[in-house]
Structure 1
Amino acid sequence: MAKAAGRAGMSEAEWAARVDLAACYRLVAHFRMDDLIYNHISARVPGAHGHFLINPYGMAYEEITASSLIKIDLDGNVVDDGGQDYGVNHAGFVIHSAVHRARPQVDCVIHTHTPAGMAISALECGLLPLSQTAMFFGKVAMHEYEGVVVDLGEQQRLVADLGDSQAMILRNHGLLTVGPSIAEAFTAMYWLERACQAQAMAMACNTPLHLPAPPVVELTNHLYKPTTRRPFGLLEWPALLRLLDRRDNSYRS
């Protein structure tokens, strides 16, 4: 079981990242995007080259705290286990270390197995621009299913398929988003999940679908770009933290 830990030996920047990452786990659980003890969210450790934080394999998302997060390096070596008995999900290491190594500008990686995400991942058409939310993503990458992600050989193919995209559908598997901050990666996942839910519901109606004209889709995506109006995620994040604090602020411990 997790033991009490604190900020000893940590920079203020690392502790702040831990608090935000723990909050991200709680928010994913709050919005019902978690999957028992499975899936993973990682965040780069500020100022520590090649180190990132990830969840202890065995804790539910609603249990994650800033001090319980495990620090590992890009080769999977545990740097700080938070004083607990849990290890790291190997599939989580394979996926997240690949992205953090290939995309140094990415600070956070989120992976989910939601019913809507898995449903859209099984459709040949992938994500369609059926909703304004779906149009947030100009390009959604696709990665073919190769089985449980435990083979290091898959890392190269995974990051090649991801390219410079913010979102990727893992075929017959689930969803993945990345961001330059935890807040931006979470907002991207929240919108990607909502877009998948809306598409699954619309397709279940068994009636012809209406897609906006391509120029409208392109314009809408342009208006959603962080350089057009504002970086989405940063404005929302303080409100999301207040939501958690009203319910249970133990993620900060």
Structure 2
Amino acid sequence: MLKIGDTAYPSLKGKVSDDEWNIRVQTAALFRLIPFMGWDDLSMQLVSARVGDDFLVAPSGLLFEEVTASSLVKINLEGDVVSESPFGPVQNAWYPMRAVHEARPDANFVIHSHDDIIAAVACNADGLLPISQSAAFAIADGLAYHDYEGVETYEERIPSLQRSLGANNNAAILRNHGLLTLGYEAKHAFMRHYNIRKACRIQLLANSAKHGELIRFPQSLLDEFRHELMRVGQADGTMDPWPGMLRKLTKLDPSFMD
């Protein structure tokens, strides 16, 4: 038996399919990376992953740095727990994640953060400006905006978020709030979050240092970044930082794989 605080729970390694176990490990890695990267807001951020027709979500009451592969709670689309666990999900927190998974079959992994740097740009009416390479990649990759309607943990707010995300956007800045990124693989959701946060930080620094108008990329140059995204996606993987991030996590604390 494994234990977090006073709660004991069984290891699921060897008790679920190899595919589910790999998804669990990748998802637990995302949870651990959020505080490591400085994106955390205690446990009030969200990560979810698709496993077959069901989904993995955070166990209620745990810090992200405590989450393990076996502690993740499996639920169905309606949010009902479908596997035995001493932990429960945060029921209402499932709604924004459900919105993305339900609308986008390609959204196998979803991250939602309230990171201060991203939230600061989300409060700006102009949103993310095309003033940096990071921003250009984010815009070319498909970046949506969703107007703030209040706390999103209500089922009736699912359709509005789905309309804002659309069929081709891979991230959504939630105005006055934060960010959603999705990915076919865990690394895609992670790298999109990383890149947009970097673009937001550059924008805040540029605004604080400016003595004139910021230089924006012309549309013709932004269009070229769509080609660059395809070219990077067809690379041989030598520029993929995800394996290295997993090695770093393993060196720091391998318990995420429990």
- TM-score, structure 1 as length reference: 0.92
Q: Distance in 1 between matches of 2:34 and 2:238?
A: 14
- CA deviations 1:7-41 (Å, max 9, x no partner) are 25311110110001001111111101111011110
Q: Distance in 1 between matches of 2:130 and 2:238?
A: 21
Q: Which moves more between the two structures, 11-20 or 86-95? A: 86-95
User: Are 1:108 and 2:85 matched, yes or no?
Assistant: no
Q: Give the direction of change, closer, same or farther, for the CA distance of 1:157–1:133 in structure 2 (3 Å limit).
A: same
Paired residues, what number? 248
Q: Distance in 1 between matches of 2:232 and 2:199?
A: 22
Q: Which residue type is aligned with residue 44 of structure 1?
A: R
Partner of 2:207: 203
Partner of 2:158: 155
User: Are 1:26 and 2:29 matched, yes or no?
Assistant: no
Give the 3-state SS of the residue equivalent to 1:97 in structure 2.
helix
RMSD, aligned α-carbons: 2.0
Matches within 5 A, 1:218-233: 218-225=223-230, 229-230=234-235
Q: Give the direction of change, closer, same or farther, for the CA distance of 1:226–1:141 in structure 2 (3 Å limit).
A: farther
Q: Distance in 1 between matches of 2:25 and 2:253?
A: 13
Q: Which residue type is aligned with residue 11 of structure 1?
A: S
User: Are 1:66 and 2:69 matched, yes or no?
Assistant: yes
Stretches (4+) displaced over 6 A:
231-234
Q: Distance in 1 between matches of 2:34 and 2:192?
A: 12
Matches within 5 A, 1:91-130: 91-130=92-131
Equivalent pair of 1:66/1:251 in contact (CA under 8 Å):
yes
User: Are 1:39 and 2:40 matched, yes or no?
Assistant: no
Q: Give the direction of change, closer, same or farther, for the CA distance of 1:226–1:36 in structure 2 (3 Å limit).
A: farther
Equivalent pair of 1:105/1:180 in contact (CA under 8 Å):
yes
Partner of 2:221: 216
Equivalent pair of 1:94/1:152 in contact (CA under 8 Å):
yes
User: Are 1:181 and 2:185 matched, yes or no?
Assistant: yes
Partner of 2:3: none
Identity across matched positions, percent: 36
- TM-score, structure 2 as length reference: 0.90
Q: Give the direction of change, closer, same or farther, for the CA distance of 1:233–1:248 in structure 2 (3 Å limit).
A: farther
1:113 CA drift (Å): 0.3
If each structure's helix is expressed as a fraction of its own residues, which one has the higher value?
2
Equivalent pair of 1:183/1:233 in contact (CA under 8 Å):
no
Q: Which residue type is aligned with residue 16 of structure 1?
A: N
User: Are 1:79 and 2:100 matched, yes or no?
Assistant: no
Q: Give the direction of change, closer, same or farther, for the CA distance of 1:92–1:233 in structure 2 (3 Å limit).
A: farther
Q: Give the direction of change, closer, same or farther, for the CA distance of 1:167–1:234 in structure 2 (3 Å limit).
A: farther
Q: Give the direction of change, closer, same or farther, for the CA distance of 1:227–1:234 in structure 2 (3 Å limit).
A: closer
Equivalent pair of 1:223/1:229 in contact (CA under 8 Å):
no
Partner of 1:171: 175
Q: Give the direction of change, closer, same or farther, for the CA distance of 1:89–1:242 in structure 2 (3 Å limit).
A: same
Partner of 1:134: 135
Q: Which residue type is aligned with residue 60 of structure 2?
A: Y
- CA deviations 1:215-246 (Å, max 9, x no partner) are 12221242023676349899221111011111
Q: Give the direction of change, closer, same or farther, for the CA distance of 1:95–1:234 in structure 2 (3 Å limit).
A: farther
Equivalent pair of 1:184/1:233 in contact (CA under 8 Å):
no
